Amino acid sequence: MSASVNPSTPPVVERMFGPRVSQDELTRRGGRYAIPTFLLLVARVLIVVSLFLPYWHMELIAPQYPDNLHLTAFINHLSGDVAEIDGLNHYIGMRPLEEAAQFERSVGVYVLIGFVVLLEFAGWIHNRWAALLVLPAILFPAVFLFDLHYWMSNFGQNLDPDAPLSSSIDPFVPPILGTGTVGQFKTVASVGVGLVLCSIASVVMIIALFFHRRAYKPLIDAMKTGGA
């Protein structure tokens, strides 16, 4: 084990970034250290690809629209039949969809790029701090759905009492996944490919942390006992 750690590494570097692996150790057990690095690379690629794909879909089934109405949410904008849905929502007193999550959409791309940078840094850190760098990206899919639920609840629970059809519908919370009913309309919501890729990336990151710990914890333990 004493040959595993690079003895020429300055102590301050080891304290900040964890033990540096010696060339002999890399030659003998290169795969052990390559696995977490490769998995973090896969996670970064999945996150980058998700930037260009939809994160959430909603289909509004309405009698007057034979082809139904469709809403798609990307990480930084909405697309689809936004104007038509806003027109229907106006009658029940719901605010325009573009008013929801304005801040989140304005920073969404930069947040994901930030995750990619953090994952790159995590690959260079060989101690427990790597997990802290990866954690925000792991939690992002759940945070996205929670935020989406917040805005759907906020809009559905705060209807304009002066709207033309305000008396015909009670405050409601449109489901962010699955099927729901709003008056005479039916909604079908589902996750998009972008969010699926981000969720897969989260699983990949968790696996990467497992292999990261398996690779570097023995070196850290050896350093603590003076075996390095």
Strands 78-80 and 69-73: antiparallel
The reported pLDDT for the residue numbered 1 is 42
Which residues face 189 on adjacent strands?
58, 178
| Per-residue pLDDT reduced to its tens digit, 116-156 | 999 999 998 989 899 999 999 999 999 999 999 999 999 99
Token digits of residue 25: 């150790």
Instruction: Report d(CA 185, CA 182) in Å as an integer.
Output: 5
SS3 185: strand
Where residue 78 falls among pLDDT bands split at 50, 70, 90?
Answer: very high
For the chain, give the longest Cα–Cα distance. 78
Tell me the Ramachandran region of residue 101: left when phi exceeds 0, alpha when psi lies from -120 to 50, beta otherwise: left
Helix (H) or strand (E) holding 35: helix 23-50
φ, ψ for residue 84 (rounded to 5)?
Answer: -65, -40
Which of 25-29, 30-34, 40-44 has the lowest average pLDDT?
25-29
Domains of the chain: 11-224 (1.20.140)
The reported pLDDT for the residue numbered 216 is 87
Is 17 or 86 the better-scoring residue by pLDDT? 86
The reported pLDDT for the residue numbered 13 is 56
The reported pLDDT for the residue numbered 201 is 98
Name the strands in the sheet holding 69-73, side by side, starting at the edge strand that comes first in the sequence.
78-80, 69-73, 56-61, 185-191, 178-182
Instruction: Report d(CA 112, CA 117) in Å as an integer.
Output: 9
pTM of the model: 0.89
The reported pLDDT for the residue numbered 12 is 54
